[in-house]
Each structure stands twice: as structure tokens, then as C-alpha cells.
Amino acid sequence: MEELKKALAGVDDDYLVGISNKGIVKRAYKDVDTVKIKADYIDGSAYVTVDNTQCVILTPIAGSSCNCPSRTICRHIITAILWLKKELISEQSEKENVEILESQTKSKENNLAKELAEYPVEKLQKAMKKKYYNAFIEKVKVGILPQMEELSAITVDIPEDNSVVKLISPLEYSACTCHSKELCKHKAAAILAWKIKHKVIELNSLMSIEDGTPSMDIDKLHNCAKNCIEFLERLLSDGLVRTSDDAAEHSETNAVLCHNADIPNGEKIFREIGNRLKGYLAHSPEFNTNRLFSVIIEAYILMIKICKETDVKKLKDLAGEFKSSYQISDELELIPLAQRKISSVTGFEGDVYYFVNKSKSGNKLPFLTFSDIRPTFYESNKRSSTSNAPWGLYGLINVLMSFEMRLTLPKLSGIKLSSSSETRAVQICKPDLNQRAVYDKVYTDFRKLIEDNFEHITDDDDKETLVMLMPQKCVSSDFSEISQTHTIVVEDFYGQCLNVQARYNSKARVFFSQLSVVGKTMIENPEKSYVIFGNAYIEDGQCQIYPIAVFDNLSIPKPQIEKRGNKKHHTYGYFSKLFHEIEEMLCDIIQCGINSFSLYNQIKDMGNECDCSGLTILGKELNNLAESFENKNHTYSDNNTDIIELVCGIYSYLRLAIEKTEIKCAINNLYESGENADEFVD
């Protein structure tokens, strides 16, 4: 009985709220003076009848029970505890009661802290499971810990799950609003949060749970890759001029095979091949032979790597993932900038929303995007209505363009924002582009634009290089019937020119017609300042901008012009031209087919020129390719694998070489004069 008295003496209102809730405790205080209560004491426990309900009050108090239907600590138990405190402890003086209460409360807090500190992290990880645990660690690393109130019981809010955890001693009697009796993920998160807050464990010691060796049907991947290789070899051997009318459908079939074999990268690239073949067969003005050649060779290289690889983890990297992995970021402030409708050759349509990143991360990620895109290759996925706004915003998705926003718990993959339900947006004010966060991202020097965005070659999968630029004037605005492109030539304050260019697309006729209006307006109003937002890329030794939006209402001050010498490297232009000629020759091979290609002397001449220019590796590969074609004339074999592998090796070399030289050429082409030249050797 003494042990029960001590336990009851240590119970305060905070502890009672911890094992139940405020409403139950408040109701119990009313009932204790109005309902009929009697008690019997057996073996240190109290058997209390509250009206017609039987309660058993045990030590520890949180282990008490009641025969009513409630699965948790009910009002009958709390009423019984309050009544027992009054009956058993009222005999002692008020001073003694206060001292006992303070002593017991302190003891309980110490016991709880000890239990929390000693609780194994491994058990917490197991209860939280990989996905929930990794997301929790990501939030903690950006400074987001659950809110915590520490009294006799520790109350922890888990807002993303609308859960509240009450940690009490002994820990096994802790409660969660999810009503789990076991160690649920919320209780585990609450314990881990306490450990981190009190530095029982260092945050650096907590690592994300990595995937174990993933289960993968290697034979299935290899068989799929072999089927894809057979299709590609037939396509390369026959050539485009002999391509059958159902070649695009065969490519689509390979995309489906890749989907079923869990090869997302393969599915994506074969859908692009199929769509480009459709353009070729339909004699579309949008068709580009070089791009079709590139995706066919890239697909072949990928499938060869998959066929040769046996390591499961490496295979998983080659296969790719169907859904991008997003990481939790710091709080973001976004300024809406532009909206663009897209229709990709990989079979997706929808809208992309662009934002200026006003946050601290704005120097590294100046622009962010949110995509509302759906596949078009399944009829069931055709969109019937406009999407709803993400991040807890009310209304349709176009509300994203109506306000500057602050995002909490945002998730990013490169520059792409996730629509995660954990992310919450707060609307701040109407959008205003006339502010420092926008001005700082506008280029007035085209050379600096190229150097900042292209000088450092990376393997980033994000293809978009988003920029804002303010030219001094528009030089010309023309449409080319031959290339089906509209080009606006703009000049910066240093007299350097680059092209704002878009190729005709049948699904974007309205945008294309608007582009000619923009060019005409810029020429007719030279006194006005225009800011162009678009996607920058290097093509044929020129920096090109694919326009997304043009603004004429930004009050950006004119830059102060600094004198500087112009240095033009003629050698890069020579090598760029040589690499493009070799690439065109490889495209001729796919155009007429390996089985029909006989201009191997041309390949040999290219190889000799490379040898004389110091490009010994490339020269050797070209000579090997010429020799292989020459030997093919003396055999009846239809096996072209060796030739295709040589073409793939040369293609990989050219991709890197062209990328390096094109950037230098793009800078060179900004100038009209210069003397010095650098050498380029491999």
C-alpha cells in the first residue's frame, strides 16, 4: 500500500493529461465529487468502483485498467486516481504532500529521461521504417524538429501526420493519437527527436537507411536488352531510307518491354526514337536526323552496358527510376515568373511553371520549376480537366502564378519542385518582378552568361539551363523557311550578339506566331528595355536562347561598361568544324545503312586529318572503322556488331569533344576580332 501511496503522490495534472487528455482530466475533476465511489485494497492495488464501473489502480499508475469499453486510460480511471489521492494522502500535512509531489515528479522526470536516453536507436529505425526514417532525418538536417513540451509527461507534435505523442515513464505506457499500443512510427520519431534535442546522439551520426541489395530479375533485364539491341542493329544496318512503315510501332513495343522489365531509362529513350521515326516517315519539318542518330546510339550504348553488367546495384543505376527522388530543402520563397505549355517527344504533355528563387539558395539554384505533366501514350491518362493547386493551396493550379509564396518542407530534385503533401505554401503578396532578387539574376554581358552556365561541364541530368538576359538592342528578327526556325538576334552592351531562337512545332503554333510579334516589337521600340527569360544551349558554335517569356516592365539600371581585351581562339573553330563533319558522316551511315555504306575512303581521310591535327585516338578509331567497312565488302556476313560498337565509341568521343569546343566557339563568336589561338589535343 505504501508503494501505491508514493506512486499516487507523484501524480500531477500534467502526468494525468499525458496518459489521457485534458478533456478527460477536466471531466474527472467534476465526477470525483458527484459520483458514487468505493474502494478495496488487495495486494498493494486498489479496486475502485466508480458508479457501476470497476477500475484497478496499479503501480505504475499508467498500467491501471477499467472494465468499460474504452481501450485507453478512461475518465473512470482518472476519477479513481483523483479520489484515491484525496482519500489516501489527505491525512498528511499539505507541506508533506507538496514535498512528496515534488520529489516524485522529479524522480519520474529523471526516470523518463534515463529511459529515453538509453532507448536503442536500432529499434526506433525499425519502427519508423526506411522511408519515414529517411524523411525524418532530412527534416532534422535542415533544422526542423517536432515541437516538444517537457513536463511530467513529454508531449511531441508530429504535424505532417496530425499525430500527438505523450511520452511517460515507463515508456511502454506512452500514448499516441494513432491509438497504437505498440511502438508506432510516431512514438519512435518522438523519442528520436528528444535524443537529438538533448544531444544524446549527434546528428552527424544518423545516416539515411540505404537500400540493401535490391531484388532484380537480371535475366529479365538481359533478355529485354538483347531484344532491344536486335531492333537497333536492324535499324542501323538497313538505314533510314529502308525503314519499314511499322518501325515506329516496333520502337514503341521495345518501350513497353523496357517498362515491363523495369528499365525506365530504356522506356524513355525508345519512346523518343519511336516519335522521331514517326516524324521522319511523315516528312515532318520538325525532324532532325542528328538527334535521331544520337538517341539510337545512346540507346544502343545503354542496352550493351545492361547486357554486360551482372552487379545488381550497377544494373539498377543503368535502368534508372520511374519517379525522381526528391530531397527536403530549406524553406523557400518563390516569385512566379512564367508558365509554358510543353509537348515532349518522349510522350508527355502539360504545363511547366517557373519561379525565381528568392531564398538563400538563389545563388546556386536561381530558378525553380513545378511541372504538371501527364503521359499521352495511354488513352486512359488523357487529361479531362485542369489540375488542383499543390501544397495545400485552394483553387486550380494556375493560382501558382498569382502570388509570391513561402514553402515549408519543400522537396527538390535538381531545380524541380515536388507536389508532396508535406509541403505547405503560404501566399505572401502579389508578384512583383521589380526587386533585387530578380535583378541579380539578369545578365547584361553575354560572355559572362556563357562562362557562368557552360564553362563547367557536369553530368547533371537536368537538361534546362535557365537564364534571364537584358540586351541593349534587337538586331534582327527573321523566319527561315528552310530550317523552320524563327531567330531574333540581340546585342548586349559590349556589342556581343547571340540568338533567341525557336524551331517550329505544330503543337505550339500560337507561341511561334507570338515570337515574331515580340521580335517586331523589340525592333520598333529600341528605346525600351526588354528582359528575356529562356533556356540557354550551345549549338553550332553559337549560344542560343529558347525563349519562354519576354518582359518589358522591369526597371533594371543600365550597366557600366568596362574596357577589356577580346581574345579569339581560332583553333577551337577548326576543331569544332572537324568534329561536326565527322558527326555528319556518322549520320550518313545511319541514313543509308551499314549494309549499303561504301564511302569508307571518306572515313579514312577524316582519320588521317585527325592524326595530322594531334587527335591520335580519334584518328585511330576512324581508321579502324574504315578498315571494318572495307573488310565488310569481302564477306557475306550480316553481323554488324563490331562496326556499330566502333561507331558508338567514336560517338562518345565526339559528344565530349563537341561540348568542350562548342563552348569556346560560342565565346569566340561573340567577338568580331582577336588574334591569339590556343591548341587542342587529346
Query: Are residues 263 and 222 in contact, defined by beta-carbon separation less than 8 angstroms?
Result: no
Place of cell 518563390: 334
pLDDT reading at 680 higher than 60:
no
Q: Inform me whether the pLDDT recorded for 369 exceeds 90.
A: yes
Helix or strand (DSSP H, E) at 660: helix 641-668
Q: Which residue has the cell 561541364?
A: 457
Q: Reply yes or no on whether the pLDDT at 364 is more than 60.
A: yes
pLDDT at 422 over 70: yes
Give yes or no for residue 77 having a pLDDT over 60: yes
Mean pLDDT value across residues 617-635 = 85
74-86 mean pLDDT: 89
Asked if 189 and 274 count as a contact pair (C-beta separation under 8 A), the reply is: no
pLDDT confidence band for 270 (50 / 70 / 90) = very high
Task: Give the per-residue pLDDT at 483.
Answer: 75
**Coil, strand or helix: which one is 276?**
helix
564 pLDDT more than 70: no
Handedness of CA 446, 451, 452, 453 (dihedral sign): positive
Task: Report pLDDT digits (tens) over 323-353.
Answer: 667 777 888 999 999 998 887 766 778 889 9
Q: Which residues contact 513 (CB under 8 A, 6 or more apart)?
A: none
pLDDT (0 to 100) of residue 461 = 44
φ, ψ of residue 132 to 5 degrees: the values are -70, -40
pLDDT category at 269 given cuts 50, 70, 90 is very high
Q: How confident is the model at residue 109, as a pLDDT?
A: 61
Q: How many other C-beta atoms are found inside a 10 Å radius of the C-beta of residue 676?
A: 10
Instruction: State mean pLDDT over 202-214.
Output: 65
Decide: helix, strand or coil at residue 48: strand
Highest mean pLDDT among 87-96, 319-328, 441-450, 671-680: 441-450
CA 298 to chain centroid: 23
Q: What is the pLDDT of residue 213?
A: 47
pLDDT given at position 593: 84
Which grid coordinates are listed for 458? 557536369
* Low-confidence winner among 4-8, 344-348, 612-616 (lowest mean pLDDT): 344-348
List the alpha helices (DSSP H) in 93-217.
94-118, 121-141, 185-197
pLDDT-based confidence at 357, cuts 50/70/90?
very high
Query: Which pTM does this prediction carry?
Result: 0.67
- Residue pLDDT, tens place only, 156-190: 888 777 888 888 878 888 888 887 878 889 999 99
Annotation: CATH topology of 327-438: OB fold (Dihydrolipoamide Acetyltransferase, E2P) (2.40.50)
pLDDT of residue 12: 79
Nearest 10 degrees: Cα torsion 143, 146, 147, 149: -120
The pLDDT of residue 568 is 54
Please identify which residue in the block is written with the cell numbers 565527322. 582
Q: Order of strands, edge to edge, in the sheet holding 37-42?
A: 37-42, 45-50, 53-57, 65-66
For residue 404, name the pLDDT band (cuts at 50, 70, 90). very high
Cβ-Cβ contacts under 8 Å for 283 (sequence gap 6 or more): none
User: For residue 360, what pLDDT band results from cuts at 50, 70 and 90?
Assistant: confident
Average pLDDT over residues 535-549: 87
CA distance linking residue 668 with residue 3, whole number of Å:
89
On average, the pLDDT of the chain sits at: 82
Confidence of residue 87 (pLDDT cuts 50, 70, 90): confident
Distance between CA atoms of residues 21 and 14, nearest Å: 9
- Domain parsing of the chain, residue ranges: 2-91, 112-205, 218-319, 327-438, 441-551, 570-668
C-alpha closest to that of 124 among 42, 191, 208: 191
Average pLDDT over residues 398-415: 89
Contact 342, 359 (CB under 8 A): no
Write out the CATH class of domain 441-551: mainly beta
Percent composition of the chain: helix, strand, coil (DSSP 3-state, to 5):
45, 20, 35
Do 3 and 41 contact (CB within 8 A), yes or no?
no
Amino acid 105: pLDDT: 54
Helices 616-632 and 600-612 cross at an angle (nearest 10°) of 160
Residue identified by cell 536486335 is: 230
- The answer to whether 517 and 561 are in contact (CB under 8 A) is no
| Cα gap 231→109, rounded to integer Å | 71
pLDDT for the residue 419: 87
What amino acid occupies position 678? D
Q: Give the confidence band of 673 by pLDDT, cuts at 50, 70, 90.
A: very low
Report which secondary-structure segment, H or E, holds 54.
strand 53-57
At residue 269, what is the residue type? Answer: I
467: confidence class by pLDDT, cuts 50, 70, 90: very high
> 675: helix, coil or strand?
coil
Report the share of the chain in percent with pLDDT over 70.
Answer: 88
What's the mean pLDDT in 98-116? 66
Q: Which three cell numbers stand for residue 83?
A: 479520489
The residue with cell 523519442 is 191
CB atoms within 10 A of CB 666: 27
Residue indicated by cell numbers 515568373: 337
Q: What is the pLDDT of residue 76?
A: 92
Residue 85 has pLDDT above 80, yes or no: yes
Which residues, other chains included, contact 316 with Cβ-Cβ below 8 Å and sequence gap of 6+?
A: 214, 216
Mean pLDDT of 515-519: 84
Confidence at 526, pLDDT banded by 50, 70, 90: confident
Confidence of residue 570 (pLDDT cuts 50, 70, 90): low
Whether 298 has a pLDDT exceeding 80, the answer reads yes
CA–CA separation, 9 and 297 (whole Å): 79
Same CATH topology for 327-438 and 441-551: the answer is: yes
Residue 49: the pLDDT is: 92
